[in-house]
Chain A
């Protein structure tokens, strides 16, 4: 690389950046304090006596802002100065401005009363900000905390790469271990390793100070010792030839499946319940992935098919069903559910399928609500029970075992079975004539039609397949809960599934599964609690924020389409090689045929 321009100091830019990021930091802190997150989440202890989820909701902001403000500027003609103490100063100032925002808030709360519009303009908030030590302490401490966190954030750039990595990993590990407390305790209990949890966590929840320090030291040591091992493994894997790589993949996925199947045996009721809920959403997300991710049809009323599966099962199995109650076996019911879902899929799909983009999204949104309101209506109450719903849905009798809500482990296995079916269906269809037609429609509908694809048929097929997968989830849901009400099928369910698909990675089976596990598992579903159940309604805020963040910074999702990113890298490699003159320009190739 040749020198582009003489290095120019960017000090003159620094002040502006400090003010910009500091202002953002202050705004974010005040916003979070005023929506009441610190107070409401204070009950969840992460590190005993020292850190609660409430304070964590505040302190991550100055760290991130400090990290961002001292990030290397990449501008043409400007080479940012070497990282050094000056960056620590910018980080400190940024954090301090943020802290000043909270201090100001504390002063304002102390002297004025705005409780009428702002619910959280309360003594509790003030006390939380003061650490219970009076207003003067609060003002000073937040300036200090802000500055310290800002320095910490910017220090990640200044420290040597390996140290920064070790510190960052240790921080993440502490947060993860404390957030996953329920899961870890439960799992270790299953393996009879309670002494580990006893020493790791304090009696009334949260990491103890000693174990936090031990954990940090341990993780840092591991990071330093294992540095480079990951890349080495990856290189080794890349160097494998095709058949060997295939067998490695097979072994890995086989091990994964075995672990997944054995895992519930070591987990308690609460964790199994969580896994079962996650499974239901994985199933829904896989179905929506076919509609949105493969065929590119933005369906906002997907919950309708979930409801159809649930109600069909309820009507056909429950003795309390108000209309007919044949009390069929689940095995037969599931076949009828498939047919019912396909019919509703066609009925909803046919009128809306000729629309495109925004119009289609709005109409499907409407249809989703219509179906819920129909189930709720007095008109159909003689058939579906109206607001009273249908109760007393019997457990699924498999002959050798019963799947019922009071035994979440069995529900989990049933869900896993349907997830396996859904994965198989998605995988096979993706690589088939129909799957290619879906992708073509997603890419350019007009051209797809001009290339001989009957787009109406193909899109209807996507609707139907998606509907059937969602109805499976509905059927299991009905058997799990044992009763079914219209209020289980709110529009929110559609939205959350869509967020799961987008955050996980549209059009990618692994991505969608990861998205469901992370989001539903940690944050929780619309009504199902996740690991952070203290979040309550704040989880919707987090869903929204996450969605915006992903759309802006990583639209391809958590797990992007492997092939695509691989090819992107290959392209980069080719361009590099071309710059160095290793590969001839494409147009210099001779036509050989």
Chain B
């Protein structure tokens, strides 16, 4: 099976700091890959590189066989990569529904004239955008629909904001979904619920998923493969069991035992 996305020898540095060096990475169709690593390992930079927010110094990113380097962030979204943000970044003064509707921008085409003349095509597309938004939101049960549809995003509870961010990313109709710490800050019950949802994102919606996560329970439950980053270098990859027993990984997270250090 050909990889959906593959990354070759990716290096980026900020000033003298190598945020990522010679990173090689690939994700296959329908896979769920978790990227873990201590704070400052370069995980979010990795996402920013893929989505075009940061330019690499060298290396290449291929999405479905074609290089996506140099594309603007909106073009990256257009070719089918969507992301969420580590610190939830919704459009706070727009309603829940609008947040999801606006994410379908690159999949729709009506211009100002359609809106001014209220053409048939415009009204049809508006209806479709709305229906699709409601469909995406109902993936989260009753939490984001009903009266919530017309509430501004800033009144939502923290967990619901995280859910809405995922819904917004889903609405861009991606092939590859990048989730940046989807369960951060959630309570154990909510984490379990979201873990199940991530599984269903693949099985029902057919997304390929790359996820940054600190919660090892979630990582263990959903990922096919785990990639461990430390100081911008891949130090291990494989199944959760393999990685979690890797001495290098344990060292990166817990430090070296005192007697070895001497």
A429-B115, A449-B74 given; A439·B93 CB < 8 A:
yes
Asked if A437 CB lies within 8 Å of chain B CBs, one says yes
Question: Are A587 and B157 within 8 A (Cβ)?
Answer: yes
Contact segment of A35-43, A92-100, A452-460: A452-460
Chain B residues contacting A431 (CB-CB under 8 Å) are 115
A451-B172, A461-B112 given; A439·B78 CB < 8 A:
no
Contact of A450 among B73, B95, B142 (CB under 8 A): B73
Asked if B51 CB lies within 8 Å of chain A CBs, one says yes
Question: Are A444 and B150 within 8 A (Cβ)?
Answer: no
Question: Are B172 and A571 within 8 A (Cβ)?
Answer: no
Asked if A567 CB lies within 8 Å of chain B CBs, one says yes
Asked if A3 CB lies within 8 Å of chain B CBs, one says no
Q: In chain B, residues 138-152, which have Cβ atoms closer than 8 Å to a Cβ of chain A?
A: 138-143, 147, 150-152
Chain A residues contacting B57 (CB-CB under 8 Å) are none
In whole angstroms, what is the CA distance A432 to B101 when docked? Answer: 10
Chain A residues contacting B189 (CB-CB under 8 Å) are 587
In whole angstroms, what is the CA distance A468 to B239 when docked? Answer: 60
Question: Are A437 and B140 within 8 A (Cβ)?
Answer: no
In whole angstroms, what is the CA distance A592 to B143 when docked? Answer: 9
How many residues of A are in contact with the other chain, CB < 8 A? 40
Question: Are A451 and B143 within 8 A (Cβ)?
Answer: no
Question: Are B140 and A593 within 8 A (Cβ)?
Answer: yes
Asked if B89 CB lies within 8 Å of chain A CBs, one says yes
Nearest CB of chain B from residue A556's CB, rounded to whole Å: 10
Chain B residues contacting A452 (CB-CB under 8 Å) are 74, 77-78, 103, 105-107, 172
Chain B residues contacting A448 (CB-CB under 8 Å) are 91, 102
A439-B91, A461-B112 given; A450·B51 CB < 8 A:
yes
Q: In chain B, residues 25-57, which have Cβ atoms closer than 8 Å to a Cβ of chain A?
A: 51, 53
Asked if B155 CB lies within 8 Å of chain A CBs, one says yes
Chain A residues contacting B89 (CB-CB under 8 Å) are 444, 446-447
Contact of B92 among A443, A465, A570, A592 (CB under 8 A): A443
Q: In chain A, residues 550-593, which have Cβ atoms closer than 8 Å to a Cβ of chain B?
A: 563-564, 567-568, 570-571, 586-587, 589-593
Question: Are A591 and B140 within 8 A (Cβ)?
Answer: yes
Interface size class of B (residues with CB under 8 A): 35 or more
Contact of B190 among A453, A564, A587 (CB under 8 A): A587
Question: Are B112 and A567 within 8 A (Cβ)?
Answer: no
Question: Are A433 and B110 within 8 A (Cβ)?
Answer: yes
Question: Are A446 and B53 within 8 A (Cβ)?
Answer: yes
Number of A-B contacts (CB under 8 A): 132
Asked if A393 CB lies within 8 Å of chain B CBs, one says no
Nearest CB of chain B from residue A549's CB, rounded to whole Å: 23
A433-B115, A440-B94, A586-B143 given; A453·B102 CB < 8 A:
yes
Asked if B9 CB lies within 8 Å of chain A CBs, one says no
Residue of A nearest to B79 (CB): A452
Residue of A nearest to B107 (CB): A452
Nearest CB of chain B from residue A467's CB, rounded to whole Å: 13
Nearest CB of chain B from residue A563's CB, rounded to whole Å: 7
Residue of B nearest to A435 (CB): B115
A434-B112, A436-B101 given; A450·B93 CB < 8 A:
no
Question: Are A589 and B142 within 8 A (Cβ)?
Answer: yes
Asked if B118 CB lies within 8 Å of chain A CBs, one says yes
Question: Are A439 and B94 within 8 A (Cβ)?
Answer: yes
Residue of B nearest to A457 (CB): B74
In whole angstroms, what is the CA distance A359 to B125 when docked? Answer: 37
Question: Are A428 and B143 within 8 A (Cβ)?
Answer: no
Chain B residues contacting A444 (CB-CB under 8 Å) are 89, 91
Contact with A along B143-169 (1 / 0, CB 8 A): 100010011100101011000000011
Nearest CB of chain B from residue A468's CB, rounded to whole Å: 11
Question: Are A433 and B138 within 8 A (Cβ)?
Answer: no
Residue of A nearest to B102 (CB): A436
Contact of A436 among B94, B107, B143, B157 (CB under 8 A): B94
In whole angstroms, what is the CA distance A484 to B85 when docked? Answer: 53
Question: Are A429 and B77 within 8 A (Cβ)?
Answer: no
Q: In chain A, residues 78-116, which have Cβ atoms closer than 8 Å to a Cβ of chain B?
A: none
Asked if B83 CB lies within 8 Å of chain A CBs, one says yes
Q: In chain B, residues 175-206, which have Cβ atoms closer than 8 Å to a Cβ of chain A?
A: 187, 189-190, 193
Nearest CB of chain B from residue A158's CB, rounded to whole Å: 37
Contact of B110 among A432, A439, A449, A587 (CB under 8 A): A432
Most buried by B among A437, A448, A465: A448
Nearest CB of chain B from residue A433's CB, rounded to whole Å: 6
A433-B105, A447-B89, A452-B78 given; A563·B187 CB < 8 A:
no
Question: Are A586 and B152 within 8 A (Cβ)?
Answer: no
Chain B residues contacting A453 (CB-CB under 8 Å) are 74, 102, 105-106
Question: Are B155 and A436 within 8 A (Cβ)?
Answer: no
Nearest CB of chain B from residue A425's CB, rounded to whole Å: 6
Asked if B120 CB lies within 8 Å of chain A CBs, one says no
Contact with A along B107-148 (1 / 0, CB 8 A): 110111011101000100110010000000011111100010
Contact with A along B69-95 (1 / 0, CB 8 A): 000111001100011010001111111
Chain A residues contacting B157 (CB-CB under 8 Å) are 586-587
Chain A residues contacting B152 (CB-CB under 8 Å) are 563-564, 567
Asked if B213 CB lies within 8 Å of chain A CBs, one says no
A447-B89, A455-B74 given; A439·B83 CB < 8 A:
no
In whole angstroms, what is the CA distance A429 to B111 when docked? Answer: 10
Question: Are B112 and A449 within 8 A (Cβ)?
Answer: no
Question: Are B98 and A439 within 8 A (Cβ)?
Answer: yes
Contact of A428 among B74, B115, B138 (CB under 8 A): B115
Chain B residues contacting A449 (CB-CB under 8 Å) are 72-74
In whole angstroms, what is the CA distance A567 to B95 when docked? Answer: 10
Q: Would you list 21 pairs from A and B whose C-beta atoms are within 8 A, ordered by A residue?
A: A432-B122, A433-B105, A436-B105, A437-B105, A439-B98, A440-B94, A440-B102, A446-B53, A447-B89, A449-B74, A452-B103, A453-B105, A453-B106, A567-B152, A571-B151, A586-B157, A587-B187, A590-B141, A592-B141, A593-B139, A593-B141
A-B interface, 8 closest residue pairs, ranked by CB to CB distance from nearest: A452-B106, A432-B115, A452-B77, A591-B141, A443-B91, A436-B102, A449-B73, A593-B141
Other CB < 8 Å A-B pairs besides A440-B105, A450-B53, A571-B151, 17 of them?
A: A425-B116, A429-B115, A429-B116, A432-B110, A433-B115, A433-B129, A436-B102, A440-B102, A446-B53, A449-B72, A452-B77, A461-B112, A567-B155, A571-B155, A587-B157, A589-B141, A592-B142
